[in-house]
Amino acid sequence: MRTYLDHNATSPLRPEAKAAMLAAMDLTGNASSVHAEGRAARKVLDDAREAVAQAVGVIAPMVVFTGSGTEANNLAIKGAPIERIIVSAIEHPAILESARASGKPVQVIPVTAHGVLDLGALEDALPGPKALVSVMMANNETGVIQPIRDVVAMAQAFGALVHTDAVQALGKITVNFGLLGVDIMTLSAHKLGGPIGAGALIVRDGLALEPLLHGGGQELRRRAGTENLVGISGFGAVATRNMNAVKALRDKLESSLEAAVIFGAGADRLPNTTCFAVPGMNAETLLMSLDLEGIAVSSGSACSSGKVAKSHVLAAMGVAPEISKGALRVSLGWDTTSDHIEHFIAAWRKILARHKARAAA
C-alpha cells in the first residue's frame, strides 16, 4: 500500500480535471481564432476563467492565466508599478528570487517564533517610496496563515500595493480577493488537484502590470502566448472544489507524534499541514525510511532541486539548526482517508521504536 501525504508539493489529479482536459484535447481551434473551432476553444477558456474568478470572488477579466504559480509571482513582482519591494522572510523562492532579480530595492520582514509576520517591523518598513508588499496567505512548509487583512490595512495607509501568494490556501481555507483587500493574488492548479502547468494571477481592476512576455494580445495583453487550453480547462474544473474535512485527520496524526516539535503549532494553520521534527532524527533518513514503508512526505519545500536542504522558513522562525535538520512536512489532500493516517501512524511508531533502540544501545 502506498500512502501519499505530500499534497502541498502537488496533489493527485482529480477525476473531474482529467475529464475536462481529455475533452479539451479533442478541440482543434485556437481561442484567438474567430471561426467555429476557435469559438469552441474560446468557450472552454472563458468557462475556466469564470470558474477561477468565482473561486476567489472576482470578475473574470481580473484573471490572468499563466504557466505556473512561479510565473504568476514573477509577473506580480516584476510587473507592478512600484519603486521597491517588501517581502516576508518566509516567502516561497518564487517570490524571494524574483524580488532579488527585479533590480529594485528589497526589504525582508521577519516573522515571530510561531511563523507569523512581524507587523511592527512591517509598519516600520512602509514609509518611503511606493512599495509592493508581498506576503503569502499561508506558508507552504508550516501551513501558518498570515494576517493579510492587517497587512493590507497598514500598506494602504502608506499607498503601497499588496500581493499575496495564495497558492497553498485555495481549496483549503476561504480565499476571497475582495474581503482580503489585496491588489494582486497568485493561484496554482496543481496544489488542489488540477494539472501541473496552469497558474493564474488575479489583478485588481484598473491596475496595470508590465508584462513579462511580449507578443500577441492574449490575456488582455498581460501575458502573450497561445493559452494552454488543456491545462486551463483542468484548472477551471477544480477551482471551486474544496478539500475534504481533513483537520480531524491531521489532528489525529499529530497526536501520534511522540516527542516531536510541531512548528507553528501556536498559530492558525492550514487544516492539512503538519511540519515537525524529533530532536536527534535526520530528515533525509526519515524520508527514506517512510518511503520504504510506503509513505510519501517531504522535508520542507518541494522546490529545492530534489534535495533535502536547509529550510529558510524554519531559520526565520529561529529554529535551531540541530532541530530543523530533522524537519518533515506531512500534507493531506482531497483523497486522504483515515486508512492513510493509520498507515502513517503505524510506520512512524515503527521508525521511532528503531530510533529509540539505537539510542539506547
Domain final residue, candidates 163, 195, 228: 228
The answer to whether residues 170 and 282 belong to one domain is no
Reported pTM: 0.95
**How high is the pLDDT of residue 131?**
98
- DSSP one-letter code for 54: H
- State the CATH number of the domain containing residue 134: 3.40.640.10
The answer to whether residues 274 and 173 belong to one domain is no
The answer to whether residues 330 and 301 belong to one domain is yes
The answer to whether 309 and 283 are in contact (CB under 8 A) is no
Query: Please, which pLDDT band fits residue 305 given cuts at 50, 70 and 90?
Result: very low
The answer to whether residues 189 and 327 belong to one domain is no
State how many domains the chain has: 2
Dist CA 139 CA 269 (whole Å):
9
Domain membership of residue 129 as a residue range: 58-228
Burial bucket for residue 296 (CB in 10 Å: 0-12, 13-18, 19+): middle
The answer to whether residues 311 and 339 belong to one domain is yes
Known catalytic residues?
A: 303
- 60 SS3 class: helix
> Cell numbers 515537525 correspond to what residue?
276
Tell whether 220 is covered by a domain: yes
The answer to whether residues 217 and 247 belong to one domain is no
Beta bridge partners of 109: 88
CA 87 to chain centre: 16
The answer to whether 20 and 233 are in contact (CB under 8 A) is yes
The answer to whether residues 311 and 279 belong to one domain is yes
- DSSP one-letter code for 6: B
Q: Is the pLDDT of residue 204 over 90?
A: yes
CA distances 220 to 262, 274, 278, 300, Å, are: 45, 40, 50, 37
Average pLDDT over residues 183-195: 98
What φ, ψ does residue 133 adopt, rounded to 5°?
-100, 120
pLDDT digits (tens, 9 = 90+) for 238-267: 999 998 789 999 999 999 998 899 999 999
The three three-digit cell numbers of residue 247, written as one number = 483537520
Tell whether 214 is covered by a domain: yes
Average pLDDT over residues 51-67: 98
pLDDT digits (tens, 9 = 90+) for 72-121: 999 999 999 999 999 999 999 999 999 999 999 999 999 999 999 999 99
